[in-house]
Amino acid sequence: MNTYKRRRTLAVGVVGAVLTGAAVLPSPALAEPGDDASVRVTVDIDEIREPGVLALSIAGDAVALSEDGSTLLVRQFVGTLPTVTVTDTRVADEVPDGANWAVLGSATDFAGAAGQAPITADHFGWKPRLLDGGETGLVTEGEEVVTSLDEPTQPGNNVGLVDQELLVSAFDSEAVASDSYSVNADLYLRTPAEVAAGAYSSTLTLSLFE
């Protein structure tokens, strides 16, 4: 074999050795029987926050009027509206821009239980009284509404609770959110002295608007 062929054969042998060495990979480590391993898994779960609401509640569902302050011409029956609470659990971001809320009230005629002629709702009035308006000064009670038998104490307010009359309102819903407010009212029914005796009933409906 000449010198060139001998050198070429040696070179191929070296390359073959290198390739053979590169193909030898380390075996994966195996756990011994009975061994175990663990992975700690964590997660942070935020509390679900329900959207806030604006709601109305009343401390009672009935008022019995009793006679007090009658005169020879007018009989008067008085009572107190159960405490009305407006609760707003919303945060400011949930309140529509420029919103305000109000509670309005209206009454039906007083129907006689034994067929007496009804006493119309214009004979029924109230004087709202704010119990808890918070510290903003933006929650206020409505004006007094007197009956059709009275002289007006404010222009045109001797109409009784025939139509929706203001009990309480908030000028700026966003500014008074996340709080609650309460109000009641002095109630009075005024009738002519010759009103028929007997039991009467009316429904006073309170509605919350925003």
> Does residue 34 carry a pLDDT above 50?
yes
Chain centroid to Cα 186, Å, comes to 26
Q: Would you kindly state where each structural domain of the chain is located, as residue ranges?
A: 54-209
In this predicted structure, the answer to whether residue 17 has a pLDDT above a threshold of 60 is no
How many contiguous H segments (helices) and E segments (strands) does the chain have?
A: 1, 11
Three-class SS state of 203: coil
The rounded distance, in Å, linking the Cα atoms of 111 and 209 is 28
Beta pairing partners, 186: 80, 127
3-state secondary structure of 77: strand
pTM for this predicted structure: 0.77
Cβ neighbours of residue 153 closer than 8 Å, sequence gap 6 or more: 144, 146
77 bridge partner residues: 67, 189
The predicted structure's pLDDT at residue 29: 52
pLDDT digits (tens, 9 = 90+) for 122-139: 999 999 999 999 999 999
pLDDT at 72: 97
Is there a contact between 147 and 120 (Cβ–Cβ < 8 Å)? no
pLDDT at 197 over 90: yes
Nearby residues of 112 by Cβ (< 8 Å), 6 or more positions away = 118, 196, 198, 199, 200
Asked whether the beta carbons of 191 and 200 are under 8 A apart, the reply is no
pLDDT digits (tens, 9 = 90+) for 37-63: 899 999 999 888 889 999 999 999 999
